[in-house]
Amino acid sequence: MSRKKQGFLVVLKFPEEQKETLNLRYKGIDRMPCYYLPPVPDEYKSEEEAMDEYVFADKFNDDNGFIPTYENAKILLKKFSKSHREFEIIFCKEAESNENIKLDFNIEELGYDVAGGIAPFWSIVGDFDVNLSNYLPLLNKNGLFDCFADACDFMNKYMEMKLPDYEGGFVVWKVYRLI
């Protein structure tokens, strides 16, 4: 049996791109800041050093794109403190059921997301397709599913309808905010 994917991410609290989706409440896995190649736009210059480390330093990026430890996530979060945007740490775990986990720190359960299995974790819940709008009422205050079965049903329907990148290797993720 393979080990479930899990780890920490430093993400935007309020992603700008959220205005372009049906799911305006989305607080899932797909909130990582964009990495800009030089020249970095002036409004993101204060994040340039932190983003370089996020993308290229092994301590902030395992084989799947997660930050392996909470300590490293806190270090990276601090590096974003010069930014005009707000960031937070989330913990994500590949889900197989309506499971709850116990961690050595305080967490808030955000819900179940459906996204790619490795970084950049593009989410079909965050980038909600109009053809699946009947699932919108099932989303919680964080724009995620409360129920693992609903997330699986949504993922299966997305693939059955052959919507964009339907063969993308999606995973149901349980997402938590560190508090």
| 3 state SS of 76 | helix
Structure tokens at 6: 């899990």
Q: What is the pLDDT of residue 155?
A: 97
pLDDT string in tens for the chain (179-residue length): 457 799 999 999 988 766 678 899 999 999 999 999 989 999 999 999 999 999 998 888 888 999 999 999 999 999 999 999 999 999 999 998 877 777 778 999 999 999 999 888 999 999 999 999 999 999 999 999 999 999 999 999 999 999 998 888 899 999 999 98
Please check whether residue 1 lies inside any domain of the structure. no
- Residue numbers of the domain that contains 11: 6-178
Q: What single-letter DSSP state applies at residue 145?
A: B
- Quick check: 76 and 7 in contact, CB under 8 A? no
Domain count within the chain: 1
Please check whether residue 50 lies inside any domain of the structure. yes
Please check whether residue 169 lies inside any domain of the structure. yes
